[in-house]
Amino acid sequence: MASFLIVEARFYTHLNDLLLEGARTAIEAAGHSHETVTVPGALEVPAAIAMAAETGRYDGFVALGVIIRGETYHFEVVSNESARGLMALTLDGMPIGNGILTVENEAQALARARMTEKNKGGEAAQAAIAMLTLKEQFS
């Protein structure tokens, strides 16, 4: 049984609840354990994962959050930099599933977050599990 840390950027509570439900369900269905920590926004997710990885308590990580396009360039900065941070960590060998949604509006976010639709929280957890399995195969 592996231990996963779900790091969520809880900015849109109702959307995060849906993502979190999907991730937890997928991890539990695979027979693994999980804990959850909350950070202020998507930019803080990679840093939280890096800090948690240093403890050695977790085998893999799931990044969750929702970034909805606004009227300014901020959307691109947050979307790109959070993804870049997560990618840097994965290239260092960390099994991470990226479930940070980058969408145009709330309707798109809801469709992607609901377990009955796209279930991106669950997919992110499944990706983290798959990457951990791959890492173990190469060890």
CA nearest neighbour of 127 among 81, 35, 76, 64: 64
Is position 6 annotated in a ligand binding site?
no
| Reported confidence tier of residue 73, pLDDT bands at 50, 70, 90 | confident
Global pTM value = 0.97
Q: How many domains does the chain have?
A: 1
Per the annotation, does 72 bind a ligand? yes
What percent of the chain shows pLDDT beyond 70? 100
- Residues involved in catalysis: 74
Q: Which domain holds residue 43?
A: 3-138
What is the crossing angle of helices 74-91 and 45-53, to 10°?
20
pLDDT of residue 48: 98
Ligand-binding site membership of 42 (annotated): yes
Mean pLDDT, the chain, rounded, equals 97
- What is the average pLDDT across 132-138? 97
Is 55 annotated as a binding-site member? Answer: no
Report, as an integer, the average pLDDT of 91-115. 98
What is the CATH classification number for the domain harbouring 103? Answer: 3.40.50.960
List the beta bridge partners of residue 67: 102
Would you put residue 93 in left (φ > 0), alpha (ψ -120 to 50) or beta?
left
Distance CA 100, CA 19 (A): 9
pLDDT of 133 > 90? The answer is: yes
Q: pLDDT category, 108, cuts 50, 70, 90? A: very high
